[in-house]
Structure 1
Amino acid sequence: MALAHHRKKDPAQVRRQLLDQAARLSVREGLAGVSLQGVAAAAGVTKGGLLHHFPSKQVLIEAMFTDFLAALDRDIDELIAADGERPGCFSRAYVEAMFRQGDVGVDSSCAVLGIAMLTDPRLRELWAKWLAARLDRHRATDSAPELEVIRYAADGVWLADFMEVRPANRAELRNRLITVTRSVPS
């Protein structure tokens, strides 16, 4: 009896590969054009293997969005750690992170997911929970209404970036928003 070649199973690696391929396909095809079969084929797994990790396309999209939020969390945490100034630290990191997302451009999975969030109630719910948790964590440093306005301004620039309506003075806007966070009384 011949022994079949068996590769070592690594569910975390397979899951990562599926998420990465889904992100690549979403950039090329948009979320509507992403199919489970296409993601499975691009990742080199069977559709059944994909369904083991993500039982539906909606679950896959939500996992992609959760993955995006985790990356955003890491980026913000790194920015806060490097900040050195406590009052407004989350708002400064948030502004910087939103501007970085816009720097990536419309041809990115974060742009696809960001636009999808506008129409998908579940993605909006995930975003709202993420933001509420971050704001709760930084209540002592970032609860001033002026900082909330700054974060909304950063959201507006982020959305404009993905709609390809980039302000000519984008770098100046970023610098002014950051400067204002430093002038808000704690």
Structure 2
Amino acid sequence: MPRSRQPDLTRTALLQAARQVVQDQGAALSLDAVARAAGVSKGGLLHHFPSKDMLLQALALALVEQFREELDAAYARECADHGQRPGAWLRAYITLTFEDSEKDMALHRALAPLTEQPTLMQALTDAQTFLLDQAEADGLSPGVAHAVRLACDGYWLAERSDQPRLSAVQAQHLREALTAWTR
């Protein structure tokens, strides 16, 4: 990548490269590999992300932001298809939870060891508080809203870890039950 006076574009390229390197190599990535994949010098990478931990934290936060954008789009589709009724946001959340995204599974598994870093975990917690607010603002009782959200989170986590997985039929039954709770 040629020298750029557009730091946001360079940051984006670095995060995309880091994402690919993490998918290929895991969270033990080297900064050299990320710089090479992005087409920048290691010094250029360090200008934007002074440490590997800062790069991985930025990547994790970028994933949260990407999820939020996907959730906003799914919510807009749900509202366009069925109107802005109570439970629409949670139905969008259910839709995203049960989408098959095998390519992202490797990335999330690779980032799992980062859960042992308290600073990163606090940043991720702070970045995801919108989930609590949105669930409660969806027009259903808070108990139902959080039960649906937490069931989705549990399913998502089991799919990306060494937990026993539901069969396709079991997952479909779960999805249908959660969706029914939102109607």
TM-score range, shorter chain: 0.7 to 0.9
The TM-score with structure 1 as length reference comes to: 0.81
Letter of the 1:86 counterpart: R
Deviates more, 1:171-180 or 1:153-162: 171-180
Letter of the 1:161 counterpart: E
How far off its partner does 1:13 sit? Answer: 2.1
Contact 1:105 1:161 in 2 (8 A): no
1:154 aligns with 2:149: no
Q: Any idea what SS the aligned residue of 2:5 has?
A: coil
Q: CA 1:146–1:132 in structure 2 vs 1: closer, same or farther (change >3 Å)?
A: same
Contact 2:57 2:120 in 1 (8 A): yes
Tell me the alpha carbon deviations over residues 76-128 of structure 1, each in whole angstroms, 9 at most, x when there is no partner: 1111112224312232222222223x533565324433x24533323322332
Q: CA 1:119–1:139 in structure 2 vs 1: closer, same or farther (change >3 Å)?
A: same
Larger Rg: 1
Tell me the alpha carbon deviations over residues 59-88 of structure 1, each in whole angstroms, 9 at most, x when there is no partner: 101110111011111111111112224312
Counterpart in 1 of 2:127? Answer: 130
Q: CA 1:70–1:143 in structure 2 vs 1: closer, same or farther (change >3 Å)?
A: farther
Give the % identical residues. Answer: 34
| Equivalent residue in structure 2 for 1:14, among 7, 10, 17 | 10
| Distance in 2 (alpha carbons) for counterparts of 1:105 and 1:8 | 30
Q: CA 1:8–1:56 in structure 2 vs 1: closer, same or farther (change >3 Å)?
A: closer
Letter of the 1:26 counterpart: V
| Distance in 2 (alpha carbons) for counterparts of 1:41 and 1:119 | 27
Q: Any idea what SS the aligned residue of 1:166 has?
A: coil
Counterpart in 1 of 2:35? Answer: 40
Letter of the 2:68 counterpart: D
Q: Which runs of 5+ in 2 are unaligned?
A: none
| Distance in 2 (alpha carbons) for counterparts of 1:85 and 1:37 | 48
| Distance in 2 (alpha carbons) for counterparts of 1:123 and 1:88 | 31
The TM-score with structure 2 as length reference comes to: 0.82
Q: Which runs of 5+ in 1 are unaligned?
A: 1-5
| Distance in 1 (alpha carbons) for counterparts of 2:136 and 2:107 | 30
Contact 1:106 1:161 in 2 (8 A): no
| Distance in 2 (alpha carbons) for counterparts of 1:97 and 1:111 | 18
Q: CA 1:91–1:120 in structure 2 vs 1: closer, same or farther (change >3 Å)?
A: farther
| Distance in 2 (alpha carbons) for counterparts of 1:55 and 1:61 | 11
Q: Any idea what SS the aligned residue of 1:69 has?
A: helix
1:120 aligns with 2:121: no
Q: Any idea what SS the aligned residue of 1:177 has?
A: helix
Tell me the alpha carbon deviations over residues 128-184 of structure 1, each in whole angstroms, 9 at most, x when there is no partner: 2233234225533255212211111111111111125431122222222112122xx
Counterpart in 2 of 1:79? Answer: 74
